[in-house]
Amino acid sequence: MSRINVVFRNKAEVQDDCRKWAAEISRDFSFDAIVFVAKSGFLFAEAMADELGVPMADISASRPGNDNKDRIVKAVPKMPRFLLAFLLKSKMQISYNKGNSERNIEVSDKLRTLCENKPNRILIVDDSVDTGWTIIKVKEELARMVPDADIKVAGYCVLDSSSDLVKTDYYRYRNMIVVTATSRYSSEYREFVNSYETWKKS
């Protein structure tokens, strides 16, 4: 298995990076809509959509077992960074996820509305493509909803463990986990959740 690095970045740093990333992707793939994997993907997609002035919508793909991970991090808010990094890149956790293909897909009202307008080129945005199963399920759902659309995938971070299952067309970092406002560990987590909830109601 390739070595996985863990870095810590604040919300502003990630969003500034995503604006540059969106501009780079658009030179190769002129997408007219973004669909992000909720809720973590919101942080990345929001900056990208704002940069290029394209609409975005959310889709949920929950993985059985995520609740256990969330409870661990929530229960130990003062966990040292080195310990959190160790847990995130644990081979046992990655191996479990790779064998767990089940995903519960939920299509939002925003996504239904977006697909009714029949976008031609859709960019799926996720924070991390680790096994590839989430992207497979999301892409299948979008292909069903908009069968004529050209759909590509952008994962801010991509792990080599996903390459056997899915192609990530664009990525910012390889074999890296970025801990940012989307993590319960972050002091910006509550602000991130509030921003996402406000957007959902808009």
Tens of pLDDT, residues 44-87: 999 999 999 999 999 999 876 655 555 555 554 566 776 666 66
Residue 19 structure tokens = 């604006």
pLDDT for res 76: 46
Looking at the whole model, is its pTM more than 0.85?
yes
* Residue 12 CB neighbours (<10 A): 12
| Measured distance CA(11)–CA(160) in Å, rounded | 25
**Spatial CA neighbour of 4 closest among 68, 91, 84:** 91
Q: Read off the pLDDT of each residue in 105-115 and give the average, rounded to a whole number.
A: 97
pLDDT for res 97: 57
**Torsion 6-15-52-42 (CA) sign:** positive
pLDDT for res 92: 40
| Measured distance CA(124)–CA(142) in Å, rounded | 9
Q: Kindly report whether the peptide bond that precedes residue 39 is cis, defined as omega within 30 degrees of 0.
A: yes
Residue 173 has pLDDT above 80, yes or no: yes
